[in-house]
Amino acid sequence: MPKYVVDYVPQVLFGDFSPEVAAYFNNTFILGNSQWGGPERRVIEDFNLPLKVEVLGGEADLSQMLAQRYPRREQMLFYFWRPHPLNSIYDLIRITLPNDSKYFINPTLSRLGIN
């Protein structure tokens, strides 16, 4: 998420996706590709977050979206990863969807029988 968004909805840093916060993002969570993101869709569904998932055609589409919308300081909430060169071009920050350990299982601990 672009860091400038915090100026408008700072509560998103604390996992607040109330209807008012989700509306700021046009109720949209963006994935660059249908294969991206692991548990985000399940978290959105299970926590009944007022967000719909919009899927783009790939990394190039997400890069183009950032290039168009970032200079205009438009709201956008999307899945991305680090390290990536775009993180050095844009001032992006990481936020967390509401957390539940069943979505974010540590594979090493899981192999040891610890969840």
CB 33, CB 56: distance < 8 Å: yes
pLDDT at 111: 44
pTM value is 0.79
Per-residue pLDDT tens listing for the chain (115 residues): 899 999 999 998 888 889 999 999 999 999 888 888 767 787 888 888 899 999 999 999 999 999 999 999 999 998 887 788 888 999 998 887 666 555 554 444 444 444 4
CATH numbers and ranges of domains, the chain:
3-111 (3.40.190.100)
**Cα dihedral sign, 38-40-43-44:** negative
pLDDT at 79: 83
CB 27, CB 52: distance < 8 Å: yes
